[in-house]
Chains A and B, each alone.
Chain A
């Protein structure tokens, strides 16, 4: 019989997977100012690497680890030529990079079935367990990964390193004048962001268990962008809430249509709502729903205590 709980759990899993992507894009765009419009490419590398290894019989831990490194490596290689470009051109190049990669997977049948796609064996098989329990296991894995990514991201942005990348975002020239190797920092953040996208891709492929090139169209990148812009760039918690919001709106529209009588198909209405929201936010609250998180360092804490005392 119907199990709405499973649908809720399913949504939660997707929120987790997309939240990792949002956090990774936030590192690149929110904190470093890199307009990466090819997020889907690294997600795709993670998904395909993980699927191919899983089909060869590797345990899941190996799959996700290799997928993370593979995506990070591809991100690093892609960043070398791309980061020499100014912001707008970077956006175009990364967008094209994602599409080129997708076309390679699409046309090279030997890699992973080309357009026919590839099915992925289940990572965890426990026979005789109800599906709800399996979903909870999935959920635990995804949220554990999200927690690790969030932790890493928080550590990075609250460290001296984090202040450097924020400085680069605000004024590249000034950062250079202060003796920072801007290119190096950017490449490192791009690599880190891509590796996180690889984690997300690996989780995605083992969860949905079938991937084909049509799954990785550029729209996926823009979904992640929506989450970041709505949630608030440079606020890791904000973008996670952005992921919750976008997913809830997508799923909610599907269910709302059964109960509402609207002149427009609510499923299409969802796209309009998101569009309008983005325009409104960019016009009236460009910092997103949540402001940029304040830097937290031990020194600042001590200083604020002193301030209170005096």
Chain B
């Protein structure tokens, strides 16, 4: 897994695939039994204490001492990190808890606790922000605010690693993703590339005259394209360059009114890669996802280690 500086990186995987374990290990909460990790150029866990002041993180569900107020909670963390108390007000404002900061955490909703967790991670003004399910419990407005916040933070030069199951959000926010299954990487790279690599190359074709569809299907099949004929359009598979379809049909005197590559979304890619798509009549168990055998990564070459 490699995260480029200044990017928002999505870290995805089914339940139990090892996302939180990976993040905990990276942050020194779990002892690794092998491998290498580095944050901001520092190998961890050996030099974690040097890099920790530059890393803000929330891991799994937000947990705080319930009888302290949000302000007390952040103030104590700021004290432990030798940060000015003024920073507490700044992050409370940033996550929208300014007016409720004097209330005890036990009275907070899950979404408010999540905001407090994000505030605690932002308190250090970190260079790397690691957020495990930050949108968990947030209302729609909160999710949108979180999305904007992530973008703004990335724009300011902060690197953000985001673990989430809200794949639509990940697709909107992230520059790159890593997808894991049962502790192994199954895909990695910029979001567009991952989507492109796992798109089926399907293209929808409509013609000016519906009556020309059978002739078009014959011509395309003869050219080696897999064709599915529908009532008012053709679905083509295995098309590398959609322009070849236009040229081939024009040569036959058949004119295209619509040529649309079928886009895949991150959710469908995720379900395909991890083999976790629901199957009618079956109850998938937590560890039933794709298994990558051996240690060789299945993702494109060029991946390294470190963030």
Please say whether chains A and B are actual partners in one complex: no
